[in-house]
Structure 1
Amino acid sequence: MKKNKILVILMSLIMAFIGFVAMFPLISLIVSSFRPSSDLMRNGITLFIPLESLSFSNYQHIFTQAGNYWTWYGNSLLISILVIVLSLFFSSMVGYALAVYHFKGRQLIFILVLLILMVPFEILMLPLYQLMTTLRLIDTYTAVILPMVVAPIAVFFFRQYALGLPKEIMEAARMDGCNEYGIFFKIMAPLMLPSFAAMAILQGLGSWNNFLWPLVVLRSNDMFTLPIGLATLLTPYGNNYDVLIVGSVMTVLPVIILFLFFQRYFISGLSVGGVKG
C-alpha cells in the first residue's frame, strides 16, 4: 500500500514536470507580453526578467493603436465560425450516410475519402487555386472557406462514429412515420454530440491556425486573417513587437474558450469515434 502511494506521488511529479515543459512556451509568451518592446529586442523572450519592467503598456497599445489587428481578428473569427458550422453540418451528413445507408458506389466514395486523406494539401493547392480563379473568388471569404466545407478527416470521423449508433432506433422512427431527415436531425444528431464537439475543436483549431491557404487566395490587407496579419509585422525594416507578442497571446484565447466549451465531450468523442469500424 505504501509502495503504491509513493508510486502515485512519483508519477504525479513526473506528469507535473512534463506539463510544465509543455506549457513553458505559452508561459514565456504571456510573461513577455508585459515587457517593453525595447527589452524584447535586447534580451529576447525569457522568464528571467525584473518585475519592475513589467507593465500593461503593450495591452493598452493593442486596444488603442493596433491598426488592422482587430480587423484581422474579426476575419479569423468569422471564417473559423463559418468553417466549424458548415463543416459539421455537411461532413456529418456525408459520414452518417456512408455509415448507415447501403447504396451503389458507397465503398468507392469511402475509398476516395481515404485517398484524399493521404494526399498532402500542398499538392491540392494549385488545382484549388485554379478553381477559385475560374470562379472569381480570389480575395474573398468564400475562397478560404469553400475547400474546408466537407473535410475528409471529418467525414471519416463521423462515419466511424455513426457505425456505432443503434440501428433499432432508426427502424422504430421509420415505423412512427419519421422521414430520413427527421431521423438524422431529431434522433441521430443528438446521439452524435460527442463527435460534433471533437470535430468542432479540431476543425476550429485548424481554421484558426491556417496560414498557407489564406495566404494564397487573399490579397488585400483588410481581408487578411490573423496568422497572415501577424506575419506582416515581421519586416526587414523593424518588427512591431508591441502588437506581435500581445497579439499572439490574444490569438490563444478563442482556442482555449473553444476547448473549455466542448471539453466535456471531446475525449469521449475521440475515443468512441476512433474504435468504431
Structure 2
Amino acid sequence: MKNKKNKGLVWFANGAFALISLIALFPIISLLISSFMPSSVLMRNGITFNIDTELLGLDNYAYIFTQSSEYWAWYGNSMIISAITIILSLFFSSMVGYALAMYNFKGGNVFFVLVLFILMVPFEILMLPLYQLMIDTQLINTYFAVVLPMIVAPVAVFFFRQYALGLPKELMDAARIDGATEYGIFFRIMLPLMGPSLAAMAILQGLASWNNFLWPLLVLRSNDMFTLPIGLATLLTPYGNNYDVLIAGSVMTIIPIILLFIFFQRYFVSGLTVGGVKG
C-alpha cells in the first residue's frame, strides 16, 4: 500500500514538474515558431500559436546569414565580452574568495562584510561613479569599459569563499612542507578542487554578461561596438521595426547559453549545492 502511495506521489511530482517546465518554455517555443514567420505576418498578428504552416519558412534566417552583417558584429562583440568576463571573473573572484576562506589576516572579516554590503547595493547606484571612472580613464566605447566593473563580482567572491571553506587545509600544510609556494598551492592543488564551483559560476557569469543591457548601453557609443541586447533593441524604432532580424536573431542568441550549460552541466548542480552549504 505504501509503495503504491509513493508511486502516486512520484507520478504527481513528475507531472507537476513537467507542467512547470512547459510554462517556463512557453516563451521560447513561441519565439522559435515566430522566427519562421514572415515579418509582415508578425506585424499584423503578433506572436501567436495560430499557425499557418504555408507561411512558415527560413527567409528570416537566410536574411541574417546573407544580408545582416551588423548582427554578426553584435554577436561577435557579445562573444568576446562574455568570454573575457568569464575568464577574468573566475580568475580574480576565485582568488579573493579563496583568500578570505583559507587565510586569517587582519581586517579579513571587515573585508568580507564589505563584500556583503556591496552585494546588497543595486548596481544602478554604482553606475554614475563607474561611468565617470570610465570617462577619466578614456575607456568609453571599448570592451574593457564593459568588462572591468564585472571582473570581481561580489556574488562570485561570496560563492567561492563558501565553497573554499569546505576544502581541507591539511593539503595546504602538506604542500608547504614539500616547498610549494602559496601561489603554487592555489593553482596546482586548491583550484582544481574548486572545479565544480568554477563551472557553476562560469554559467552564471556568462549568462549575466550575455544578457547585460544597461551598462553596455551607457559605455558603448558606436554601432559596430554594440552587444546583442543593444543591437537588437535598435531594430525597434518609431520609423520601422525589422522583425526579420529581431525574432530570428533573438533565437540565435540562446544558442551560446545552451552550449555553455551543456558543457558545464555535470558540475553545475554539485557546485551550487556544495558552495551553498559550507561555512
TM-score by length of 2: 0.98
Query: Per-residue displacement from partner, 1:69-120 (whole Å, max 9, x unpaired)?
Result: 0000000000000000000001000110011011111111111111100100
- Aligned pairs for 1:43-192 within 5 A: 43-192=45-194
Match of 1:14 among 13, 16, 22: 16
1:175 Cα offset (Å): 0.6
In 2, Cα distance between the equivalents of 1:31 and 1:68?
24
Return the offset for 1:18: 1.2
Per-residue deviation, residues 190-227 of structure 1 (Å, max 9, x unmatched): 10001001110010000000000000011000010000
Distance in 2 separating the partners of 1:266 and 1:62: 33
1:127 is matched by which residue type in structure 2? P
CA distance in structure 2 between the partners assigned to 1:190 and 1:15 by the alignment: 34
Alignment of 1:163-242 (within 5 A): 163-242=165-244
1 CA distance for matches of 2:13 and 2:201? Answer: 31
Look up the match of 1:34: 36
Q: Give deviations 1:2-59, integer Å, cap 9, x for gaps.
A: 2322332222222111111110000000011001111111111112201111101111
Cα distance in 2 for residues equivalent to 1:254 and 1:70 = 14
Mapped to 1, the partners of 2:114 and 2:256 lie a distance apart of 33
Query: When the two structures are aligned, how many residues end up with a matched partner?
Result: 277
CA distance in 2, matches of 1:24, 1:138: 38
Which amino acid counterpart does residue 257 of structure 1 have in structure 2?
L
CA separation in 2, counterparts of 1:241 and 1:180?
A: 55
Partner Cα distance (2:14, 2:121) in 1: 40
Which residue identity lines up with residue 128 of structure 2 in the other structure? Answer: L
Could you say what the CA RMSD is over the residues aligned between the two structures, in angstroms? 0.8
**Which stretches in structure 2 are left out of the alignment for 5+ residues?**
none
- Rounded to whole Å, the distance in 2 between the matches of 1:184 and 1:208 is 29
TM-score by length of 1: 0.98
Measured in 2, the distance between the counterparts of 1:268 and 1:248 equals: 30
The secondary structure found in structure 2 opposite 1:137 is coil
| Equivalent-residue separation in structure 1 for 2:13 and 2:107 (angstroms) | 51
Question: Which stretches in structure 1 are left out of the alignment for 5+ residues?
Answer: none
CA distance in 1, matches of 2:87, 2:206: 9
CA distance, structure 2, for counterparts of residue 15 and residue 50 of structure 1: 31
2:261 paired residue number: 259
